[in-house]
Amino acid sequence: MSFIFSHKIYRNLSNYRLKIFIISESIYPSVSFSNQNVNKQNFLKQNLKQYITTTTSLEKPVFITTPIFYVNAVPHIGHLYSAVMADSLKRYYELNDKKVILSTGTDEHGLKIQQAAAKVNQSPQEFCDNVSKRFRELFDMANISYTTFIRTTEQKHKDAVKFFWEQLVNNGYIYKGIHEGWYSVSDEAFYSASQVQISNSDEKIANVSESGQLVEWTEEENYKFRLSKCKDELLRWLDENPDVITPSNRFNEVKAFIKSDLADISVSRPQSRLYWGVSVPEDFNQTIYVWLDALINYLTVTGYPWPSQENIINNHLTSGWPADVHIVGKDIIRFHAVYWPAFLMAAKLPLPRKIFAHSHWMMNKHKMSKSRGNVVDPFIVMKEYGVDTIRYYLMRDGGISDDGTYDPTILQTRYRKDLAGQLGNLVSRSTSLALNPSSTIPASPSFIEGVNEKDMTLFKMLQQLPDLVSDHYENIEFGKGLELIFETVAEANKHFTDNEPWNLIKNPNRKVILDRVLFFAVETARISGILLQPIMPTKMRELLDMIGVSNDERKWKHSRLGSGWQVKGGGNVKFNVKDGHFLFPK
């Protein structure tokens, strides 16, 4: 008996403290792989996923987070990028029958917000309310299906921060000290002398930190966190979890940082300078550092402090903690991959399973940011091009390891060529009344038996597509998954044209061939429609409605070649198309 046991699946099983199943071929004795060229390992993997889902009611939900967004300025397209990525991942897991928590929200404390509010003569709370609302409106408009929208000014969050602080104190990680150094209000971060350089403009204060932001000299008494004490444990954590920070260039960066320089950090500011925040318990003269405050949001949304901490940690019952993926931009990797794990270690809590750091959207060769003024308003572009077009563009062309440039010409080309020219065209062709006057699925899924040489390229691409896309999506490489889907759609359009269905229809003896050509086209649209749902949820609902795919057959497992249209049975399914209506109008 041969055993097939994917490492990834094993890890999940052991994480959830489930019984360990050994899946052998004997579970699926009746499956024959020889004639359909189906990859046996993938088949078992797919079915094992289903098996796990149906047998584990205590399964920990997948917990995905976006960063919480500063409310010092209104949102731009770079912010939306983190959120669409997290939402696409959530929707992918849901298609695989996972329960998912997706948290997002706004980061509302700190000097930066305090100053921004003062500038427009508003109280900080009023200022935060207005801008936080804008982020929520953005995410609602962009179909970000968050399960929690957290604001750090909420009482439950402030309580969580205080409780967490007390754990750090009780465990001996906090002491009072004098801090001397450079502070960047824009980054809300302290920098050491080596990270600061003198700028030409104003030598007194206008030094430039490594992030390019202004820094100012500060000398003050505050509480410090013993980060230095965490060095060995952090390095061990990285060694034992080589995939915990991705992509790998970020992993290496973080490791080098931990190795080189791990001084204790300030975790409070005098109340006289920073009043807009959470006070240190028992010391009203100090306000907790905004990054410590902000990171704890990931715990607050799980209900922390939990009623029975031990039980939740040991059984992962309902809280969702630890996070499965923190999605962040590369500019905030240090906070998430060094400070946050260190804080958690000090509080004796489990560490996140993955920190995924994407790169930035650039405009005119600089990171898009409000302070530079080179931003794209996401509300305007979504109105102009459609929500799903923007979601598609962001996921298709956004940078992971390297920065990407926001370019309206490329966005327009993506719409014209990929969405209207390839996918929209395929749907129109496959449901064309001229070629298929009955407007029903032209053949039953058993069409596979009639596959010939001419169909082979497309046939193989469709067979492999769901597993390949699944791997890319799970690695949060949406661009790669989308590329494969659109290559397959292009191949389906080629297959259609090469077979010249407009000639086949003239000869009744060739009806079987015509039906197969039409079936390949509509089957490609069905499979692609299912796989594209995480990225373009609204448009893909429309697509699947148009070609008559039942609501019960839109899960990931239905994306296998020939596994759709089972509910009503092949040829009985009617298309839902109206003359002159296009999925992606030109």
> Degrees (nearest 5) of the Cα angle 553, 559, 560?
115
Closer residue to ligand MSP (CB): 79 or 334: 79
Q: What are the residues binding ligand MSP (CB under 6 A)?
A: 67-70, 78-79, 81-82, 107, 294-295, 297, 328-329, 331-332, 360-361, 367-369
Tokens 């926001």 correspond to 406
Cβ at position 144, least distance to ligand MSP in Å: 13
Closer residue to ligand MSP (CB): 391 or 526: 391
Q: Which residue is nearest to ligand MSP (CB)?
A: 329
Q: Cβ(547)–Cβ(576) under 8 Å?
A: yes
Cβ at position 292, least distance to ligand MSP in Å: 10
Closer residue to ligand MSP (CB): 116 or 549: 116
Cβ at position 326, least distance to ligand MSP in Å: 8
Closer residue to ligand MSP (CB): 394 or 489: 394
Classified as helix, coil or strand, 122 is coil
Cβ at position 220, least distance to ligand MSP in Å: 22
Closer residue to ligand MSP (CB): 332 or 492: 332
Please give the Cα distance from 77 to 438 (Å, whole number).
44
Closer residue to ligand MSP (CB): 67 or 424: 67
Closer residue to ligand MSP (CB): 294 or 536: 294
Question: What tokens does 93 get?
Answer: 């897991």
Q: Which distant-in-sequence residues (6+ apart) come within 8 Å of 177 by Cβ?
A: 221, 222, 223, 224, 264, 266
Radius of gyration of the chain (CA): 27
Cβ at position 283, least distance to ligand MSP in Å: 24
Closer residue to ligand MSP (CB): 244 or 332: 332
How many CB atoms are located within 10 Å of the residue 459 CB? 20
Closer residue to ligand MSP (CB): 131 or 441: 131
How many CB atoms are located within 10 Å of the residue 337 CB? 27
Closer residue to ligand MSP (CB): 113 or 514: 113
Classified as helix, coil or strand, 142 is coil
Give the distance from CA 272 to its chain's centroid: 39
Cβ at position 492, least distance to ligand MSP in Å: 33
* Angle separating helix axes 511-532 and 478-499, nearest 10 degrees: 170
Classified as helix, coil or strand, 329 is strand
Cβ at position 45, least distance to ligand MSP in Å: 32
Alpha helices in 56-76 (DSSP H): none
Classified as helix, coil or strand, 586 is coil
Classified as helix, coil or strand, 189 is strand
Q: Cβ(191)–Cβ(217) under 8 Å?
A: no
* Angle separating helix axes 478-499 and 387-397, nearest 10 degrees: 110
CA 273 vs CA 157, 425, 526: distances in Å: 22, 60, 59
Cβ at position 342, least distance to ligand MSP in Å: 14
Cβ at position 24, least distance to ligand MSP in Å: 44
Cβ at position 335, least distance to ligand MSP in Å: 7
